[in-house]
């Protein structure tokens, strides 16, 4: 079941994996929220869209690689955020529900 809001997304983190019927962006965000940066990155780099670039940017920002993050924010046509990465996760999830 696709979550209706961020709270339902957070609740889904009790599971072992995201549901197969979720979009790839939502699956990538789920893995990141579970602490599996590598799986999230593997999915994000295969999403060839502005959303994929945004998630890719977020992941590199979160790991502290500002230069790489900026490259991906530019690809996504988005500014470098002036809010926390945890808030960005929420914004990303809400943009994928």
Evaluate if residue 1 carries a pLDDT over 90.
no
Tell me the helix, strand and coil percentages in the chain, rounded to 5: 60, 0, 40
Pair of tokens at residue 74: 């530019």
Pair of tokens at residue 88: 């960005």
Q: pLDDT at position 35, please? A: 97
pLDDT tens digit sequence for 17-50 = 999 999 999 999 999 999 999 999 999 999 999 9
Evaluate if residue 97 carries a pLDDT over 90.
yes
pLDDT tens digit sequence for 55-91 = 999 999 999 999 999 999 999 999 999 999 999 999 9
3 state DSSP class of 20: coil
Answering whether pTM is above 0.75, one says yes
87, 60 contact by CB (below 8 A): no
Torsion of CA 5, 50, 32, 23, to 10 degrees: 60
Query: Rounded to the nearest 5°, which phi and psi values hold at 46?
Result: -100, 5
51: confidence class by pLDDT, cuts 50, 70, 90 = very high
Rounded to whole angstroms, how far apart are CA atoms 11 and 33?
Answer: 11
b/e per residue 39-50 (b: at least 16 CB within 10 A): bbbebbeebeee
């Amino acid at each position: 079941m696709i979550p209706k809001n961020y709270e339902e997304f957070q609740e889904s983190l009790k599971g072992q994996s995201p549901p197969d019927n979720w979009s790839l962006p939502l699956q990538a965000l789920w893995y990141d929220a579970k602490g599996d940066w590598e799986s999230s990155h593997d999915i994000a780099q295969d999403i060839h869209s502005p959303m994929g670039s945004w998630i890719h940017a977020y992941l590199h920002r979160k790991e502290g690689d500002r230069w790489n993050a900026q490259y991906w924010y530019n690809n996504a046509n988005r500014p470098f955020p002036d809010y926390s990465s945890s808030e960005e996760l929420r914004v990303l999830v809400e943009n994928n529900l």
